[in-house]
Amino acid sequence: AYRRDLVAEVQAACASNDVVVVGMGLNQFPRKARQMLDANGTPYKYLSYGNYFSEWRPRTALKMWTGWPTFPMIFVKGVLIGGANDLQLLIKNGELARMVP
């Protein structure tokens, strides 16, 4: 129940968007993921929660909910696929295009 509102916000974004990127400021990997999606022409919803110096408690709730320890958290069709490196592999092997036509 910790920070249920934040988890509900991410769940709602996943329900209404094929691709959701959850990130934070001052972190290069959420930016890298967004740049890859932009270059690929894949629409997405971006949610940002603080940076290394702020809002770490809310981000902890997301880590507890997903079991994923780092940012970004990338969801495709409501399923957590991992981070920026995982996204890069999906784009490279054409799997993302099959998942999100």
DSSP string for residues in 52-96: TTB-HHHHHHHHHHH---SS-EEEETTEEEESHHHHHHHHHTTHH
d(CA 14, CA 69): 19
Express each pLDDT in 63-100 by its tens digit.
999 999 999 999 999 999 999 999 999 999 999 999 99
Structure letter (DSSP) for residue 41: T
Average of pLDDT values for 38-47? Answer: 98
Q: What is the pLDDT of residue 83?
A: 98
> What predicted TM-score, i.e. pTM, was given to this entire model?
0.95
Average of pLDDT values for 28-36? Answer: 98
